[in-house]
Amino acid sequence: MKAPVAPAPDAPVFRTRITELFGIRHPVLGGGLMWLSDARYVAALVNAGAMAFMTPRSYPDLAAFRQALRDCAEQTQGRPFGVNLTQSRRASENAWMHAWIDLALEQGVRHFETVGPSPGALFDRIHARGGIVIHKSAFVEHALKAQEAGADAVALVGTEAGGHPGTNELPAFVLGALALPRLRVPLALGGGIGSGRQLAAALALGADAVLMGTRFLVCDEVWAHDDYKRHLAAQPAEASTLALRSTGNPWRVLHNATVRETRRMESAGANQYADFGTLATGRLGRDRGYAEGDWDTGLLSMGPAVGFADAVEPVHRVMDRLMADAMQGSVRLAALMSAAGA
Ligand SMILES: Cc1cc2nc3c(=O)[nH]c(=O)nc-3n(C[C@H](O)[C@H](O)[C@H](O)COP(=O)(O)O)c2cc1C
C-alpha cells in the first residue's frame, strides 16, 4: 500500500457532523477551562482549526466578559468561537446565566457548551436566537435526556476528565460505546484524550469529535505561570487523581500537597465542600497555582492526558501533531482491512 501523502498542517483531514455544525476544520473541541479559557487561549485553538469555549464565570463582571468576547472576535477574525455555560450547584452563582447567554449572542457568538442539570431552558434561549448547543455530561442517561430536550450535539466525558467528571466512574470509551446506539445527535467524546490515535479511535467508534482540556494546559497561550506549565509537562499520567470523593462531587486534579491535606481532613470526617474551607475553592488554585506557579497549592484541575504533554509549546503545534497522528491511526485501520482483502 502506498504511503499516505501528509496533508498541509491546517488542511481538513476529517469531515464529521460536528465539523459541519461548528464550522471548524478539525473534529476537536476545547472544553471550557475555568480561569484559563480566555480570549487568547480560545482564539489560539480556533485559529488552529478547533472550536473552544470561553468561561464567563472566570470574569469579575459582565463588562469584563463583554471585553473578552470582543478581544476573542478580533483575534479569530470572523471564525466561530464558543462560550461555556457551567451551571453551578450553588443557585446564587447562576444569577448571570441568562445575561451571559444574551451578551454572547449579541456579540455574535453562536456556539455554546452547556453543563449541569435541566438544561432545556438554556437550549430554548440559545435556539431562539439561532445558537447551537452541545451539552456535556458524564452519564449516558443525562446525554439522552439532553438529546430529548433539544441539544444539537452531546459530549460525554469519562472519569479521566480533568475538572469535575461527576460521580461517574466509567471511562470515556465505555460511555461512548454504550451511548452511540441510542444517540441521534452527534457525540463528542472526552476524558483522557491527548493523542491523535485516540482521536482516530473515537471517530472509528462513531463519535463525531473529541473534547479535550488537560492536553492543552501546557500551551504557550495559557496564561498560567511558566513554572506551573513546565511542572505539568514533566508529569506522568499517574499525577492525576480524584480529590474530594467524600463530597459526592469529586474533582480530578494534579496530585499535590493540597490533595494530601484534603485526604487527611477526609479521614477526620470532612465530607462537605464547606468543611475544606479555602482549600476547596478554585480561587486558591488560581492565585497560587496558576498566577504564582506554586503547583503544590490549590486543587488544580488536570486529568491523565497530561501524560501526553512533554513541552510547553504553541497550541498550533499540538494540534498539528494531533491531526497527523490521527491520520496515521486511520491509515493503519485502512491498511489492516486492505491486508485482509476487505
Ligand atoms: C483546568 C480545567 C478547568 C476546567 N473547567 C471547566 C469548567 O469551568 N467548565 C466545564 O464545563 N468544564 C471544565 N473543565 C473540563 C473540560 O472542559 C473538559 O471537559 C475536560 O478537560 C476533558 O477531559 P481532559 O481533561 O481529560 O481532556 C475543566 C478542565 C480543566 C483541565
Task: Encode pLDDT of 4-36 as tens digits.
Answer: 555 665 789 999 999 999 999 999 999 999 999
Residue 156 C-alpha to ligand 1 middle, in angstroms? Answer: 12
For ligand 1, whether the C-beta of 175 sits within 6 Å is: no
132 and 173 both lie in a single domain: yes
Assign residue 53 the CATH number of its domain.
3.20.20.70
190 within some domain: yes
115, 26: one domain: yes
**pLDDT, tens digit, 9 for 90 and up, residues 76-87:** 999 999 999 999
The pLDDT of residue 63 is 98
Q: Residue 81 is part of which domain span?
A: 17-220+314-339
Kindly state whether residues 187 and 245 are assigned to the same domain: no
The pLDDT value given to residue 216: 98
Whether residue 156 is contained in a domain is answered as yes
CA of 205 to the centre of ligand 1 (A): 22
* Residue 148 counted as domain residue: yes
Q: 85 in ligand 1 pocket by Cβ < 6 Å?
A: no
Q: Is the CB of 235 under 6 A from ligand 1?
A: no
Q: Is residue 9 part of a domain?
A: no
Average of pLDDT values for 115-124?
A: 95
Claim to verify: residue 232 and residue 298 sit in the same structural domain: yes
Ligand 1 close to Cβ of residue 298 (< 6 A): no
In a domain, 94, yes or no: yes
Residues 166 and 246 in one domain: no
* Confidence (pLDDT) at 9: 58
Most informative mutation of 28, 29, 34, 173 for ligand 1 (most atoms within 8 A of CB): 34
| Per-residue pLDDT, 342 | 80
Residue 247, pLDDT above cutoff 80: yes
pLDDT of residue 128: 97
Question: Which residue, by CA, sits nearest to atom 16 of ligand 1?
Answer: 31
How many A from CA of 82 to the centre of ligand 1?
Answer: 14
Q: Are residues 51 and 176 in the same domain?
A: yes
Distance 334 CA to ligand 1 centre (A): 33
In the reported structure, the alpha carbon of residue 133 is separated from the centroid of ligand 1 by a whole-number distance in angstroms of: 17
- pLDDT tens, 189-246? 999 999 999 999 999 999 999 999 999 999 999 999 999 999 999 999 999 999 999 9
Residue 8 C-alpha to ligand 1 middle, in angstroms?
29
- Whether 170 and 283 share a structural domain: no
pLDDT over 80 at 1, yes or no? no
pLDDT, one tens digit per residue, over 316-337 is 999 999 999 999 999 999 999 9
Instruction: Give the integer Cα–Cα distance in Å for 306 and 127.
Output: 35
Is 118 in the same domain as 164? yes
Q: How confident is the model at residue 89 (pLDDT cuts 50, 70, 90)?
A: confident
Q: Is residue 115 lining ligand 1, measured as CB closer than 6 Å?
A: yes
Number of domains in the chain: 2
Q: Check pLDDT > 60 for residue 2.
A: no
Angle at 85 between CA 270 and CA 273, to 5 degrees: 5
115 and 238 in one domain?
A: no
The mean pLDDT of the chain is 96
Residue 243 within any structural domain of the chain: yes
Is 8 within the bounds of a domain? no
Candidate of 83, 88, 214, 221 to mutate for ligand 1, largest count of ligand atoms within 8 Å of Cβ: 214
Do 130 and 199 reside in the same domain of the chain? yes
Q: Are 42 and 74 in contact (CB under 8 A)?
A: no
Pair 233, 106 in one domain: no
Is the predicted pLDDT of residue 123 greater than 70, yes or no? Answer: yes
Average pLDDT of the residues in 304-325: 98
Q: Kindly indicate the confidence band of residue 165, based on its pLDDT and cuts at 50, 70 and 90.
A: confident
In-domain check, residue 2: no
Say if residue 196 is in the same domain as residue 271.
Answer: no
Q: Is the Cβ atom of 37 under 6 angstroms away from ligand 1?
A: no
Ligand 1 pocket test: which of 28, 29, 33 has the largest number of ligand atoms within 8 Å of its C-beta? 33
Closest C-alpha residue for ligand 1 atom 21? 213
How does 27-44 read in b/e, with b if 16+ C-beta sit within 10 Å? bbbbbbbbbbbbbbbbbb
